[in-house]
Amino acid sequence: MSVAENQAAAGRGSARAVAILSSLGRFLVIAVTTYLGLLAVTFFIGRVIPIDPVLAVLGDRAPTAVVERTRREMGLDLPWIEQFYIYVKNAIHGDFGTSVLTTNPVMTDIRRAFPATIELATLGTLIGAVIGVPLGVLAAVRRGSLIDQIVRIIGLIGYSVPIFWLGLLGLVLFYAKLQWVAFPARLDVVYEYTFTPITGFYLLDAAMQGQWDVFYDAYRHIILPASLLGYFSLAYISRMTRSFMLNEMAQEYIVAARAKGLSEALIIWGHALRNAAVPMVTVIALSYASLLEGSVLTETVFSWPGIGLYITNSLQNADMNAVLGGTIVIGSVFIGINLLSDLLYRLLDPRTKVG
């Protein structure tokens, strides 16, 4: 390499560094404004809804004097802007206040509820991806065949059937009639006494402690809601895979590979899917992120004490600290997963590899 070429490479390098820095800076600015916007919108929605937050704390039967005192204690007699300032100040210090419904600090509640949701969402996405991707590939490769039609129908049902209805149906069939899965909860009653969670992911905790009966029980409880969520992400993932694969299969390099005499399997799995994998990552990540928001309906039907149920319950009861805290955590997760899928994108796409 000549000196000139070296210099050019170095120039390219520093230009890349500047580009990365500026994109990082842009990302930070976007993240901070998104956060502030999120905070402001949720906070003010919480204040303008026609529900008296004191009602949430005291219920309908409290005497007037107690109501007025509680209003002062909660700082609700202050001007909105001052309430907002106090809230943001505390939030920056990681203090989201106390939940009215559970009497715990909001962060404690979230630390408890979020693992339940993550466990469910992870398993659901895993099921969705492991089945959905091959199904989508198959549908694309055998376009117009029976399997393609089936994938299309699965997708259609996944889009049009309400999840709580399918959930109840699943409960009636697999739980009530066949007794294949366990009832709506995370664990059986008997294990309430013998099992101490560590991370909050029951499957993992049970495996770590070698309590295989608990593991099996947790599995029997999680498998139905996870399959249900898995089904819905499968419907989405298989449809997207199909269209990505069709796109790839129409590319010239596939024709070239066929002409070279490569086997179909290698062409499909080794070339087409590898290229389709790049946008697939985004699709799967987004589907995962949306499950992490907490699938409220699934969590309600299956009495799953996750973040979706927590926030919905809080919202219905005007427990604004909990709603705000939950929204911010979910917002962070969304931003985090977007960043992560961005990174993965770079790793998988050869064009973004550093030469």
**Interface pick for another protein out of 63, 79, 144, 261 (rule CB under 8 A):** 63
Q: Find the binder of another protein among 5, 61, 94, 162 (CB under 8 A).
A: 61
* Residue 260 touching another protein (CB under 8 A): no
Question: If binding is defined by CB under 8 A, does position 176 make contact with another protein?
Answer: yes
Between vectors from CA 39 to CA 34 and to CA 44, what angle results, nearest 5°? 130
Q: Which is nearer to another protein, 110 or 289 (CB)?
A: 110
Helix axes 80-92 and 320-348, enclosed angle (nearest 10): 50
> Judged by CB under 8 A, does residue 191 bind another protein?
no
> Applying CB under 8 A, does 280 fall inside the site for another protein?
no
Total residues at the site for another protein (CB under 8 A)?
71
Which listed range, 7-15, 30-38, 167-175, 199-207, lies at the site for another protein (CB under 8 A)? 167-175
Residue 263 touches another protein, criterion: CB under 8 A: yes
Q: List the interface residues with another protein, window 213-252 (CB under 8 A).
A: 220, 223, 227
Residue from 110, 127, 249, 330 touching another protein (CB under 8 A): that is 127
**Judged by CB under 8 A, which of 35, 84, 134, 344 binds another protein?**
134
Q: Which of residues 86-105 bind another protein (CB under 8 A)?
A: 99-104
Among residues 295 and 341, whose Cβ is nearest to another protein? Answer: 295
Q: How far is the CB of 255 from another protein (least distance, A)?
A: 17
CB of 26 to another protein, least distance (A): 40
**What x/- string results for residues 289 through 328 when contact with another protein is judged by CB under 8 A?**
-----------xxxx-x---xx--x--xxx----------
Among 21, 172, 343, 347, binds another protein (CB under 8 A): 172
- Shortest separation between residue 97's beta carbon and another protein, angstroms: 15
Q: Which of residues 107-126 bind another protein (CB under 8 A)?
A: 109
